[in-house]
Amino acid sequence: MSSRMLAILLSTLLASTLSLFSITSQAADSAPSLLKLHQLRLAAQKTLSDFYMFNGMEGDQRYARMISESVTETNTLLGALTEMPGEGSKALRSKLEVLWLGYQTDLNNLTTAIKDQGYTDLQPVADLASRNQQLMSLCLELYNKIQQESRYSVPALTQLSREQSLLMQSIAVDYASRSASVGATFMGGAGDARPMEELVADFATKMDQLEKTPQNTPQLKTSWEGVNTKWRYIEKSLINYNENSVPFLVNKYSSTIIQGIEQIAGQYAAASL
């Protein structure tokens, strides 16, 4: 082989190696960004659930504190979400920041109105719910764009678990909106137009599938059993939401269920499952 041919071969090999390294490095950077974005979505959606509880519980200050904590968490996660893999994700991230700031302003105004006068007008609350739905849609769009541009896909079981957390949060928001005094229909619900019964059935089915997945270690099986026990405790209340409303109970247990699922998702992610 001539020296010229050898040089060309080595140059091509080096370029391929550097390209592969760049893709691998970008994927490694995208994994934590995707986790932050997932957590941001949970926190941003929880602000709406907290607000409904604050409104429905007639200005109970514990829910005012929860709103503040959820807002702070969202801001922290958004501030940490800096590295984007491409121009598309950068543009969506900027759009998300603008939308969140507007939503946060509306949320603060409505919370202040309830604190000062004990109630708020209906239309601004419906607008808040609509803007929260826009936030959720934009977060999902950005989540998919990051994966596309970085050529990285969240492992299957990790992703399914994250979706289960989001479904539980949607159920909690929907239930809280139904329990609030102005009613769920006008307030906009959780951003999922399906009936509560369908949401509950969907969660239960997916829970059963995840609990029985062959890749589960004994520790993961035990963790899923713990989540399932908490779920069964509120499942009937969710199905019979019109008969005996227990928003405090559902709010409390949904939070612990989400925490449990997120711990499991973290274990899946660590094992690349």
Over residues 193-199, mean pLDDT: 89
pTM of the model: 0.88
- Rounded to 5°, angle at Cα 201 from 186 and 42: 60
- pLDDT above 60 (res 138): yes
Q: Count other Cβ atoms within 10 Å, centred on residue 135.
A: 23
In degrees and rounded to multiples of 5, residue 44 shows phi and psi of -65, -40
- pLDDT above 50 (res 19): no
Contact between 156 and 273 (Cβ < 8 Å): yes
User: Looking at residue 50, what is its pLDDT?
Assistant: 96
pLDDT, tens digit, for every residue of 154-191?
999 999 999 999 999 999 999 999 888 544 444 444 45
93, 130, 156, 255 from 90: Cα distances, Å: 5, 24, 25, 31
- pLDDT above 80 (res 24): no
Over residues 195-204, mean pLDDT: 95
Name the maximum alpha-carbon separation found in the chain.
86
